[in-house]
Structure 1
């Protein structure tokens, strides 16, 4: 047991700064400037000489300190020294104890949880690996994964599910890059090598456009929706008027609505760009949501369950029941954008900011302090009058709670 003691402690391993820190008996903790921590052991192989004729002194990686504990590192270092004293080169004779690809991937997923935009995104990251990589190469030691193994995962879906395959390739690359930084593998990343060798065929992705209605046809649809009593109809009317995304509307809470300022502020966590977005409220929008206060729900557009929002498929299914074909809910954003360009003739930045889209380069956005709220308010009022009539309301909305 004396051989398994040394100068370092668990606390020191976790807190020492950049550099090489000796534990004794040839074992070192190496802390990179990035903060990555890994173990190495220096041994002299008995009877073996280097090119200059001196005793063969070699450093061997024992793995990252976040995976290999201090006790395990001392145990492995002792094993390497014993082999070296017997004249055996540990590079060819050491017992390998390398984590699997799945183990490293799960750890990467955990480590990056605070950086995910939301929990759903983080879950999608690991689910892609779970579905397409783990069944084939998940149990392989991470240092054994090469180009053939990566191709085994990518090739079956490269053409039919190209976007998924590209995400899978990027996520495998990330896992292998992390493994290399922890001293668990060496050499070029096989994902990079496959890309550079053009080992997979070029796939020309067909752009997918959300089906959009002609802006000239929206007033007729809106008038039809206004005769319907379902909550999905009210949500779809509001979506058409605001040009907002489905998740933004269905997740709308009363706490986000400021009637005095005629504003709805959608919080950053529900916005694609990750920033709060202010939407000016028009008379037509208020005519939809004000009667819904009687429900006294947390959500403006409450679903079948109390204090729960409508299903994200509710508006699309309503369109299908209305036999409105070739049109998606998201497509109404394109409809609004077309109207803004062809009919309203507003500056591009006003139309794009109304849809909460990025405008200009990063530098331009850094200097653009205003969200052009009042200009957007004027535009949305014009859009509401076009859709719902000159006074903003074409028909009386049905009382809340009536059956569909």
Structure 2
């Protein structure tokens, strides 16, 4: 193993030290609990940024999905349509609510929930909610999905954990459904080390989510609880990091875009390579640069070659309907998500990479085609 370590997508604090300013303020005022000015302002600043009425700062994106399902009225025995090509954090909260996931395939044009498969699922089931994902910062085909959900009077939840800063026809992902979810995990485009945000135009539902997130404590002098609560609220320290990170979101999106464009130029013409789809109506945040392979070079070949040089990459998410835990649940689709998983790879997309780092990665990858005796 040689060379400096290059990460897939690591935390990137601002050069200006915005995060330290807000964190220091929390320490100086002794507001280090899950309440305080940073929490309040982070919620307001996030809501203003994406253009919604209200937001609740929570301990994780998973917690935000859980509370979105609860706010949508999902309970025991209810069916939830869930995109199959995603990380398990999208689907797990369905089980938390003792509900039943039905997994929906992706389409090749977006890598996200297929409206055609969703329509077929509606012919078979009557769900309580639809959970769509904007994978790797690529927006789903939201017009058709929103239309279907309205037609069937079903709540729509957007898992925008990977797509903060992505625009669909001028609207931020996470704002077109009834609820939107963002994640600030350490590898996301901006991070608070951990944490998430639930957003909605329904201020009453967000207020209720905050109530559930703070152990559902009733407004009584003594400790009284009339509903089941959760310890899901974001701390004032973590929120301070988030406020600082939000100030550099555009810089991070621009760097991610440059990384993708570099890969597209350097690798896009290699035999069998197809870069992840970018549609004319989609302005992705390019959280991870991904591609699929149909030639003799396979994703594992690239991953092993990069790993040997101390460079991190990883496979595309394994679809939920292929996961052992979710094997018993139905799947509606034609196997597109499985093909993307089998053929796909996530390339190093760290915003701290230099031009030399990118050149090094490209040369390693192109070398695999040279060994096969084919370049274009």
Output the TM-score relative to the length of structure 2: 0.24
| Structure with the larger helix share | 1
Q: Decide which structure has the larger Cα Rg and report it.
A: 1
TM-score where L is the length of structure 1:
0.23
